[in-house]
Amino acid sequence: NSNQMWGGRFASGPDAVMDAINASIDFDRALYREDIEGSLAHAEMLAAQGIISDEDHAAIRDGLAKIEKEIEEGTFQFSRQLEDIHMNIEARLSALIGPAAGRLHTGRSRNDQVALDFRLWVKRELKRIDGALAKLIETFLARAEEHAETYLPGFTHLQTAQPVTFGHHCMAYVEMFGRDRSRVTDCIERLDESPLGAAALAGTSLPIDRHSTAQRLGFREPTRNSLDTVSDRDFALEFLSLSAICGMHLSRLAEEIVIWSTPQFGFIRLSDSFSTGSSIMPQKKNPDAAELIRAKTGRLNGALITLLTVMKGLPLAYSKDMQEDKEAVFDAAETLDLMIAAMTGMVSDMEVRVENMAAAAGSGFATATDLADWLVRQVNLPFRQAHHVTGRAVALAEERGVDLADLPLADLQAIDPAITEDVYKVLTVESCAKARTSYGGTAPDNVRQQIAFWRDRLKNE
Ligand code: ARG
């Protein structure tokens, strides 16, 4: 009972533990579609090159179609003894069509086969994630448009800094997710070479046509070096790294949602569909989805470190270590997909509590920088001195428990006699935010321009 695929020189079969550590079928069955797609392209090329007969090609093609159907209908019998998806499919093909099945693997190895399947899988997943990110961006554009003139405090160190518009805050995330999408594009660009025909590691002496299979499989061109081809998993690492970066962005937003939805902040209210209650405390509405998004970032980071560690120090070319590449990538893809979907739902559903945001924007001396800027503009003070004068005004207001705008003119003039009535115009939240019209600044008109920029970009892709 030695292996029917490679057991020629083996007298006995493997130990059960050997099977358990060696078999990848429990997870790499996820690659069945890509495996069949690759085999169909390979068989067609073999026939076109006269390496196999047209009858054998037809039998292989029909057999593979039948197998795909069996897998999809759940009637396919997966076997651990057959290790992986590649040998499971080939063994079934041979049961279905006999000796012609043995000709499919001509000029090919599982090493280039798995490299192909995995690339196709990652490429498809990248496109799916790109589409999901585009939807998230659209959701943010709609919220930004609604709230181009909604004011809230901007923070640094999570301490009140300067008033900003909520639209501007939304657009900050659009920039991040836009960069994530461009990383997806870059990843596809570099990944877009076909490994098929690199064979075990050195290529083949048979007259195969790698350019035709590359084209048939939708790749830009075949890879150039067979050794590199079977040992390269950069595309999976890039996928994991862009996933980890995107997850990091999502986790920051998730953290803001957790903070904003507390009764103490009260900036947003999550919809019932994206929050949970407590089994003991009736008043609670918990941001579980946001917390889980924040937490799942750990899985994405873990996946990246897993594969970096698997690949580190591997000699050329293929080593079985590389079979450990798949679970991390499968899990990361599923996790990121879910994170983006949950975030899109939460952001599109959440209620933005405009009054609470505005009230917070007016507290904490958020307009202090504007007082300093006014002193620079109107009184021609050097900024450092203006900063000092403003600091004294803040100290006075704090002592009295009032806002800067509530200090009488006489008190401000006691600090600096050059201050006039005109100063109160710059001490409102609205005037502060509206005045920040420098390129990329938070003013409502800027936000609208940014929205138009991103709408245009989405339309033209
Ligand atoms: N299941 C293997 C993997 O995922 C396929 C390639 C095996 N090749 C080999 N020579 N053992 O990496």
Average pLDDT of span 106-131:
98
CA dist 222 and 234 (Å) reads: 16
Task: Write the residue with the smallest CA distance to atom 3 of ligand 1.
Answer: 323
* Pocket flag, ligand 1, residue 322 (CB < 6 Å): yes
Distance 191 CA to ligand 1 centre (A): 20
Task: Write the residue with the smallest CA distance to atom 1 of ligand 1.
Answer: 84
Of 3, 84, 88, the one to substitute when testing ligand 1's pocket (max ligand atoms within 8 A of C-beta) is 84
243 compared with 1, residue with greater pLDDT:
243
Q: Which residues are catalytic?
A: 157, 278
Distance 35 CA to ligand 1 centre (A): 13
* Pocket flag, ligand 1, residue 84 (CB < 6 Å): yes
The DSSP string of 310-348 is HHTTPPSS--GGGGGGHHHHHHHHHHHHHHHHHHHHHHH
- Per-residue pLDDT tens digits for 391-429: 999 999 999 999 899 999 999 999 999 999 999 999 989
Return the percentage of the chain with pLDDT > 70, whole number.
100
283 compared with 32, residue with greater pLDDT:
32
* Pocket flag, ligand 1, residue 110 (CB < 6 Å): yes
Residue 9 pLDDT grade (very low, low, confident, very high; cuts 50, 70, 90): confident
Distance 316 CA to ligand 1 centre (A): 14
Average pLDDT of span 37-51:
98
- Per-residue pLDDT tens digits for 156-182: 999 999 999 999 999 999 999 999 999
Angle, vertex CA 250, rays to CA 363 and CA 284, nearest 5: 60
Task: Write the residue with the smallest CA distance to atom 2 of ligand 1.
Answer: 323
Integer distance in angstroms from the first to the last C-alpha of the chain?
56
* Pocket flag, ligand 1, residue 184 (CB < 6 Å): no
Task: Write the residue with the smallest CA distance to atom 4 of ligand 1.
Answer: 323
Distance of CA 421 to the CA centre of its chain: 51
State which ligand 1 atom lies nearest to the alpha carbon of 24. Answer: 1
Tell me: pLDDT of 128 over 70: yes
Distance 87 CA to ligand 1 centre (A): 10
**pLDDT of 8:** 80
Of 320, 321, 326, the one to substitute when testing ligand 1's pocket (max ligand atoms within 8 A of C-beta) is 320
Among residues 57, 19, 21, the alpha carbon closest in space to that of 39 is found at: 57
Tell me: pLDDT of 275 over 70: yes
- Per-residue pLDDT tens digits for 73-108: 999 999 999 999 999 999 999 999 999 999 999 999
* Pocket flag, ligand 1, residue 389 (CB < 6 Å): no
Task: For residue 22, give Cα distances in angstroms to 16, 18, 322.
Answer: 10, 6, 12
CB-CB contact of 274 with 238 (8 Å):
no
State which ligand 1 atom lies nearest to the alpha carbon of 326. Answer: 4
Distance 323 CA to ligand 1 centre (A): 6
* Pocket flag, ligand 1, residue 111 (CB < 6 Å): yes
Tell me: pLDDT of 1 over 70: no
3-state helix vs strand vs coil in the chain, percent to 5: 65, 5, 30
- Per-residue pLDDT tens digits for 175-224: 999 999 999 999 999 999 999 999 999 999 999 999 999 999 999 999 99
CB-CB contact of 46 with 103 (8 Å):
yes
Q: At what angle do helices 288-311 and 234-260 cross, to 10 degrees?
A: 160
* Pocket flag, ligand 1, residue 333 (CB < 6 Å): no
**pLDDT of 156:** 95
- Per-residue pLDDT tens digits for 325-355: 999 999 999 999 999 999 999 999 999 999 9
CB-CB contact of 67 with 89 (8 Å):
yes
- Per-residue pLDDT tens digits for 441-456: 999 999 999 999 999 9
Distance 114 CA to ligand 1 centre (A): 7
CA dist 4 and 358 (Å) reads: 72
Distance 157 CA to ligand 1 centre (A): 50
Which value does ipTM take for this structure? 0.97
Tell me: pLDDT of 10 over 90: no
Residue 151 pLDDT grade (very low, low, confident, very high; cuts 50, 70, 90): very high
- Per-residue pLDDT tens digits for 286-325: 999 999 999 999 999 999 999 999 999 999 999 999 999 9
Distance 62 CA to ligand 1 centre (A): 25
CB-CB contact of 293 with 337 (8 Å):
no
DSSP state of 350: P
Return the percentage of the chain with pLDDT > 90, whole number.
90
* Pocket flag, ligand 1, residue 150 (CB < 6 Å): no
- Kind of pairing, strands 268-269 and 159-165? unpaired
Q: What is the pTM of this model?
A: 0.93
Task: For residue 406, give Cα distances in angstroms to 4, 95, 179, 305, 366.
Answer: 87, 87, 43, 55, 14
* Pocket flag, ligand 1, residue 114 (CB < 6 Å): yes
Tell me the average pLDDT of the chain: 95
Average pLDDT of span 430-445:
94
Task: Write the residue with the smallest CA distance to atom 11 of ligand 1.
Answer: 320
